[in-house]
């Protein structure tokens, strides 16, 4: 059986875009997460995980985030990782807003149903890596574990206090460092 690393994009492998719109819609705003190439590269090369990206992109295809703008930047991001041997087997993008309450939007798991009850995958030994508690909730909904990148850039600071306790058991590691994530996963393998 294969273990999967579900990986968020913004705030996890690239820095979260800044105010006012918090939308990564210019190349000036594109900044990769510190040491992500080095350590996600080691994970991809040396450890036995399949990499799957799962990202919420609110309003993709609207004026806030035009389709062409999104894909220009997204393809550049993916190419930069690919050049370092970091290849995602699948990329799942949800373009709805929180208020739409779509089952495809994280923490919903409707985009990744192919991995559920699939004898090829061991979800209990798989992880979701993300910077929001919704990423951890996604892990919980999948029966996987969460790696919580708790950088203060995440907008959900208040959310943390209220939801934190019920998700505590799902959080296998809390860190701001990809080096630590690599060391943690290496021990699992
Ligand atoms: Mg994020």
Is 25 designated active site? no
pLDDT greater than 70 at residue 182: yes
120 phi/psi in degrees, rounded to 5: -75, -20
Catalytic residue among 8, 95, 131, 135: 8
Residue 152 has pLDDT above 80, yes or no: no
Residue 76 Cα to ligand 1 midpoint, Å, equals 18
- Is 117 a residue of the active site? no
pLDDT digits (tens, 9 = 90+) for 49-73: 999 999 999 999 999 999 999 999 9
CA 133 – ligand 1 centroid, Å: 9
- pLDDT tens string 14-52: 999 988 888 999 999 999 999 999 999 999 999 999 999
User: 163 pLDDT exceeds 90?
Assistant: no
Cα of 16 from ligand 1 centre, angstroms:
7
- Is the Cα torsion angle 169, 57, 125, 121 positive or negative in sign? positive
- pLDDT surpasses 60 at 155: no
The per-residue pLDDT of the chain, averaged, comes to 94
Centre of ligand 1 from the C-alpha of residue 56, in Å = 8
Under the banding of pLDDT at 50, 70 and 90, the label for residue 90 is very high
pTM: 0.94
Domains of the chain: 3-188 (3.40.50.1000)
Q: Which of 10, 94, 95, 131 is catalytic?
A: 10
| Contact yes or no for 52/8 (Cβ under 8 A) | no
């Amino acid at each position: 059986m294969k273990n999967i690393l579900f990986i968020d994009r913004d705030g996890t492998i690239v820095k979260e875009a800044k105010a006012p719109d918090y939308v990564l819609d210019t190349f000036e705003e594109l900044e990769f997460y510190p040491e992500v190439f080095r350590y996600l590269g080691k994970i991809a090369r040396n450890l036995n995980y399949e990499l799957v990206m799962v990202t919420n992109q609110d309003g993709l295809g609207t004026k806030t985030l035009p389709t062409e703008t999104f894909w220009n930047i997204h393809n550049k991001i993916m190419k930069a990782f690919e050049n370092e041997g970091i290849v995602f087997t699948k990329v799942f993008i949800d373009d709805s807003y929180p208020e739409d309450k779509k089952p495809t939007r994280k923490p919903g798991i409707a985009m990744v149903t192919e991995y559920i009850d699939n004898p090829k995958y061991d979800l209990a030994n798989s992880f979701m890596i993300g910077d929001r508690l919704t990423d951890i909730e996604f892990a919980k909904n999948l029966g996987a574990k969460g790696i919580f990148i708790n950088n203060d850039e995440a907008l959900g600071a208040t959310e943390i206090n209220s939801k934190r306790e019920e998700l505590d058991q799902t959080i296998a590691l809390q860190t701001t460092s990809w080096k630590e994530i690599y060391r943690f996963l290496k021990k699992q393998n």
